[in-house]
Amino acid sequence: MANVHEAVVRLVVALLLVTLLSGPICIFGKQSQSAMKFDRNGEFRILQVADMHYGHGKTTPCEDVLPGQVRGCSDLNTTAFLKRMILAFNPHLIVFTGDNIFGFDATDAASSMNAAFAPAVSANIPWVAILGNHDQESTLSREGVMKHIVGMKNTLSQLNPPEVHVIDGFGNYNLEIHGIEGSSFANKSVLNLYFLDSGDYSTVPSIPGYGWIKPSQQFWFQRTSMKLRRAYMNKPDAQKAPAPGLVYFHIPLPEYASFDSSNFTGVKQENISSPSVNSGFFTTMVEAGDVKAVFTGHDHVNDFCGELTGIHLCYAGGFGYHAYGKAGWARRARVVVASMEKTEKGGWGAVKSIKTWKHLDDEKLTTIEGQVLWSKSSVGDRRKKQIGHA
């Protein structure tokens, strides 16, 4: 059933693409989005915060902590962890990947969101958010939640792409990260970030379980990726390969179940809670050719990262203290650092590498399990091996 569903989805996406390229109907118009830049040291740092499950603050108790931690433990522990990470890591962008609030325990969704995102807002750091499956279970719909987020200070979140007339979900958008100011890449996006709404629960009676990324969203992703690839590989400073892309959404894809302890970094302590159908989005990303890694939340005590067909599929691990977890297993955050290469003449080139690791919410914000997600040299080595093997 899943294979049939994937085939149908891919056919619909293909027909939409053919219609756009051959017909007079214009769905996508002038694009409006914010462009950020790498810093003067050639870095761009991203902090991922997954599953805060924020409730009411001080009166909302912690879940799954050690007996000695129960007294006085609340949402404020989540807030304190976020503040510490901001100070220690100094991110250029904070990405909240859904279940930002736990709707059933948040009697005023707007108030809970204001409190949950407050450390990012007060730090005056750009931030974005996408929706999980619990954000809308309070006093606002999914659209209402996303509209509130978009209206908050310092956020680059979007309700949906302004150039798209029809798309499923709320919180589908992308950000372009440009090269260093004054370099030849200052006006070129060298790192592309995609954010999608993976839904909450299936609305199809015959399909149980969680939602999935729909054909309209995949179509938007394909068109956006294609536009960015063409811009990067055309003059001025035409490049031979696409700029690397990173994708963020909440619910993991079925492909996350492809790994075992022998081929990932991190831990798997619960089953993969993916949709019961495969929408084909993983194949869509592979075909696009620019995506190097996907980052999700949803399964709080999984924090692994494994590579499949050239794309790393990564969990962040649970961040929030009101979210379920595992007593004695520290709450954690995933960070990503993209670095630009130095040219022979001392200037700045394109992105050289993308690395990731996790920080634990302990006394020292312990760093664990660093790994390289992508590098220009590894791409070259892989091509040489393929040619040699042939």
pLDDT digits (tens, 9 = 90+) for 204-216: 999 999 999 999 9
Domains of the chain and any CATH numbers: 2-389 (3.60.21.10)
CA-to-CA dists, residue 355 to 64, 172, 229, 374, angstroms: 30, 25, 22, 7
Q: Give residue-wise pLDDT tens across range 184-232.
A: 999 999 999 999 999 999 999 999 999 999 999 999 999 999 999 999 9
CA triple 329-360-294, angle to 5 deg: 95
CA-to-CA dists, residue 359 to 29, 174, 195, 208, angstroms: 41, 26, 23, 35
**8 Å CB contact between 251 and 312:** no
Average of per-residue pLDDT values in the chain:
90
Give dist(CA 136, CA 169) in Å, integer. 12
Task: Read off the pTM.
Answer: 0.89
Quick one: how far is CA 54 from the chain centroid?
19
**Given this model, what pLDDT does residue 34 score?**
52
Which three-class secondary structure string do you get for 251-316?
CCCHHHHHCCCCCCECCCCCCCCCCCCCCCHHHHHHHHCCEEEEEECCCCCCCCEEEECCEEEEEC
Terminal Cα-to-Cα distance of the chain (whole angstroms): 36
Q: How many CB atoms lie within 10 A of CB 42?
A: 18
Which residues of the chain register pLDDT less than 50?
A: 2, 4, 8, 12, 15-33, 380, 382-390
Beta strand 35-37 with 332-342: parallel, antiparallel or unpaired?
unpaired
Residue among 174, 163, 229, 172 nearest 30 (CA)? 163
Q: Give residue-wise pLDDT tens across range 55-67.
A: 999 999 999 999 9
